[in-house]
Amino acid sequence: MSEPFTAGIVHGLLADRVLRGRQHRPALGGKKLEALVEELNNRVGYAEYRAGLEGETKAIALMRQAIPLWIDVWPAIREEYEWRVAAAKNSERLGLLSDVALAQAELEALDALTAAAKAVAGLGLPRPPHEENHGLPLERWPGPIVTDLMEMFKRATGDGPDEAGYRFIAAVIPKIIPGEEPSFDAVKIAYLREKSRDKL
């Protein structure tokens, strides 16, 4: 998979859409631009990875609901399987065609499943994937990403002005979070909101 950001794309974006007049641009081929490109592509990869976890999280939530239900319901269902084993043994004694081994195997398999469900429930498993990833939330707009992108921008431009940073964020968000196309004003509001949260 090709990376959505290259040095040429980011340099062009900074020159054409973000920086005005004599505002400092990182040099094409320079370390600051290369670092910015790498950070942006890492952010895209992170966002894609986190988005994939959303479906997994929903599936695990359903599993976590089903496990206690299985444990609670199994004793009543188990009586039916015990009856099947007894019926198969009785049929066999009478010389009728019967599969005692199959009936017994079904009962044992379901008992084993119940024992496993109890062990899993006792350990609090399965855990949602976000818990396995330091509790990081799925990438959302607006959110903490706005301050992260502003920091990347400032490192690359030698502490460029916030207004240029807002234009930068508005330009790169669509590649990081598909479907999001924030305006300059939306970025500014989101950034100021996140900065005020950071101060609390």
pLDDT tens digits, one per residue of 80-95: 999 999 998 988 888 7
Does some domain include residue 2? no
How far apart are the C-alpha atoms of 44 and 177, rounded to whole Å? 8
Confidence of residue 42 (pLDDT cuts 50, 70, 90): confident
Which region holds residue 172: left if phi is over 0, alpha if psi is between -120 and 50, else beta? alpha
19 falls within a domain: yes
Number of H helices, E strands in the chain: 6, 0
- Does a structural domain hold residue 110? yes
User: Which of 10-14, 22-26, 58-62 is the least confident region?
Assistant: 22-26
**pLDDT score, position 181:** 86
Residue 117 forms part of a structural domain: yes
For residue 1, is it within any domain?
no
139 pLDDT above the threshold of 60: no
For residue 32, is pLDDT > 50? Answer: yes
Distances (CA, A) of 29 to 35, 65, 67, 72, 149: 10, 53, 55, 64, 21
Question: Is residue 18 one of the residues assigned to a domain?
Answer: yes
- Residue found under tokens 């940073």: 165
The answer to the question of residue 102 being in a domain is yes
Confidence of residue 119 (pLDDT cuts 50, 70, 90): very high
What is the C-alpha separation between 191 and 175, in angstroms, rounded?
A: 18
Report the domain count for the chain: 1
